[in-house]
Structure 1
């Protein structure tokens, strides 16, 4: 009986060791994601909390956010349409709409091929199943902005957990993601409301970061 048990357990232990020893690899997040996030910049002087919808197929992002910038609070409802090159800021209560040209390319949520692995760790506890979350932390440079980043994603699913992003202009910007769900439960949220139909495009051109703050 003991020999039979050893014959059964030994291959399982071998597979466990092999799987655990596999090096994490760069990955793509699911193309459709819903969830929430928080952003902090300028040592916490500027901050925002938002619900988001992320559609990599259609290159669209929807945000419902509130926060504080330069000691002034704000509440925004925004729709980024990268293929059309526009961003809408909408107020459903007053049925008003602002439309700006969007000077940003769509960047899918992923770990770039040239990213360097910093560590694989367990967030939370590891003494029992369900106590912790296995994540991988990566770092790299952003040549377009002369910036750098530190990004953490889950080992299984490549779901974003947090991102640190730095440029001389912005300083460190910290983003934390939570309550992520794969899929879009309300795809109609990517369609501008009727009261935006006649809105003229403003002269000011925004990028994703300036629009968010």
Structure 2
């Protein structure tokens, strides 16, 4: 009986351990949705994320100010280059990339909001244990709120403030550790080295990656 009680206490201690900031897997792929508080932007995208090579690809469709769009962007942060890819006519635009690579991490200075169950805790397999964190955006431009899974640090949702759109909500679904086709993180063979002369709109932050096509 004492052994059973001891084991129960040890398990309770493990479960009660305070969550810590974490980093998501270095290679991830899946689907994301991005929507804004003022309802001007909504987009649904397949994403590929490579924290080792500092590469991201977004293949999206959505609406901005009631206008539909599709967009395919390959972002090579180490080269400071992005490619707008048009598979339908095998064309490509190469542009300078001024954004910094943003790893999927919970920063060390983040504050824990709480630990929650997404779904139900009534039975096995009915819920997902997540940790929600908050903190300041770089340069104190606003707040963010991020939720990740307790096990694996897989992103679930992220909210952050902007002056233009209010709160922006990013939700991650169907996440997979790894990238099934790494060649999608390389420019297609029809992309050339010449940079586009039309560089008036250069991505400068996460949200702007969804706007240059409008």
What is the TM-score normalised by the length of structure 1?
0.93
| In structure 1, C-alpha distance between the alignment counterparts of 2:152 and 2:112, rounded to whole Å | 17
> CA RMSD of the aligned region, Å?
1.4
Of the three residues 4, 15, 23, the one matched with 1:9 is: 4
With 173-182 and 43-52 compared, the bigger mean Cα shift is at: 43-52
| In structure 2, C-alpha distance between the alignment counterparts of 1:174 and 1:140, rounded to whole Å | 15
Whether the 8 Å CA contact 1:67–1:74 is kept in 2: the answer is: yes
Q: Is 1:103 matched up with 2:98?
A: yes
Tell me which residue corresponds to 2:73.
78
Whether the 8 Å CA contact 1:165–1:174 is kept in 2: the answer is: yes
Question: Over alpha carbons, which structure has the higher Rg?
Answer: 1
Runs of 5+ consecutive residues of structure 2 not aligned to the other structure? none
Q: CA deviation at 1:198?
A: 4.5
| Count of matched residue pairs | 208
Whether the 8 Å CA contact 1:97–1:199 is kept in 2: the answer is: no
| In structure 2, C-alpha distance between the alignment counterparts of 1:209 and 1:132, rounded to whole Å | 30
Matches within 5 A, 1:129-140: 129-140=124-135
Matches within 5 A, 1:131-170: 131-144=126-139, 146-170=141-165
SS across alignment from 2:114: strand
Tell me which residue corresponds to 2:203.
206
Q: Is 1:54 matched up with 2:52?
A: no
Runs (4+) off by over 4 Å: none
| In structure 1, C-alpha distance between the alignment counterparts of 2:68 and 2:18, rounded to whole Å | 44
Q: Which structure features the higher share of strand residues?
A: 1
| In structure 1, C-alpha distance between the alignment counterparts of 2:196 and 2:51, rounded to whole Å | 24
SS across alignment from 2:13: helix
